[in-house]
Chains A and B, each alone.
Chain A
């Protein structure tokens, strides 16, 4: 049976399966690393076939697309605060299984998600999963206010995690806020409400640092204080 299913990989990357078969094959992918590898490679193959058809679009389209993007909000990165994993420890396994399905669907690049459905709540690996990944590289960095930040990178999963349990506790009306810094542009990754937790995020592009500042409770749109710590993922 699985041999039979396995042969659907070609039709799958060609988007030539019915929705039902697609879902079935998606489930199969979850259990089959070899199939996931094959699907990734064949998706790249068909993408090259598509790219060989390259034709420049009319010049006017560029301005239209850029203007439209300007009006569109971006979806936030997938960040899982560890406190959620802690309080719902029992659900974690289940949620992770669900995440695996989404990730697998994503292995052919989120096709089901891209059809204009609402965004499903997507879980991502927990902080400890990144720290314990077989390929994890970790680093502990002292912070300017006497704490320590632990960072882990798992290039294979494309994830970076920060563990905040060794950060210095803050007064009630203050909160730690996590940022990515690129070319002087700070983008909030999120607030750290529970120091026992941490954050997981996609590994930022090269040249992008991750920083933490102390902000008024509720967080800030842009950093209002100097970072207590900055980490360059490339140096982990």
Chain B
């Protein structure tokens, strides 16, 4: 029972995920289960957003966690947070899956473009703690920054393709991706 007026702060945080991954590295399958419970929604949600097909998103999620299990002992804490590591694997795997088999989608580039620039209703989205802050911060980006980042991150386009889609010079897109992310980083830094 929590005391009235006492706000319960979930005992979750990057450091917990780091500790879990450390135990996974030692072959602790209980820790692996806990890690799955902690991160599977984030991994699956990202995979689904990128590959779109829920069944394939499940496959990607499985690949990601197997990779995490296999590589856990090689994760280098000096290089960043465990959660970031897992999400980076997830994004890479999702993007690879899209690039492997959805070249057909690329032929309808204008359609995709419109679909992305429209404000997307994200159905089935749980209110992740982060969600509000991320969305708020994404709104601080310029339209071109936002589109460049989203087309690459959520649709798996290379920056070359993004430049073609948005009909902008390559250096512009390259720069907008970077300064967009920097703005996002600075905005999220305070949240």
Residues of A participating in the B interface, judged by any CB pair closer than 8 Å:
4, 7-11, 13-18, 40-58, 61-62, 64-66, 68-70, 72-78, 103, 106-111, 113-115, 122, 155-159, 180, 182-183, 185, 187, 202-208
Contact = CB atoms under 8 A, between A and B. Distances in A.
Given A47-B88, A52-B130, 15 more contacts: A10-B178, A15-B92, A16-B152, A18-B158, A45-B181, A45-B188, A46-B91, A46-B153, A47-B83, A54-B42, A54-B45, A62-B36, A74-B72, A111-B89, A122-B74
A9 to B, nearest CB: 6
Interface in B73-93: 73-81, 83-85, 87-93
Interface string B147-187: 00100110011111010000000010111111111101100
A11 B73 contact: no
B106 interface: no
The majority secondary structure among interface residues of chain B is helix
Q: How large is the interface on B (under 10, 10 to 19, 20 to 34, 35 or more residues)?
A: 35 or more
A193 B128 CA distance: 50
Nearest to A42: B181
B178 A11 contact: yes
Contacts of A208: 22-23, 26
Contact of B125 (A4, A55, A76): A55
Given A16-B157, A52-B135, A11 B36 contact: no
A180 B70 CA distance: 18
A227 B172 CA distance: 61
Given A45-B181, A180-B26, A205-B25, A51 B92 contact: no
Nearest to B58: A61
Contacts of B41: 54-57
A64 B62 contact: yes
A53 B45 contact: yes
25 contacts: A8-B178, A10-B177, A11-B159, A11-B178, A14-B149, A14-B159, A15-B95, A16-B158, A16-B159, A42-B178, A45-B188, A46-B181, A47-B88, A50-B42, A51-B45, A52-B133, A53-B46, A54-B44, A54-B45, A57-B44, A68-B66, A70-B29, A103-B76, A183-B28, A202-B77
Contacts of B175: 7, 10
Nearest to A51: B42
Interface of B: 18-19, 21-23, 25-29, 32-33, 36-37, 40-46, 48-49, 54, 57-58, 61-62, 65-67, 69-81, 83-85, 87-93, 95-96, 122, 124-126, 128, 130-131, 133-135, 138, 149, 152-153, 156-160, 162, 171, 173-182, 184-185, 188
A165 to B, nearest CB: 25
Contact of A109 (B36, B84, B96): B84
Given A11-B177, A75-B74, A182 B23 contact: yes
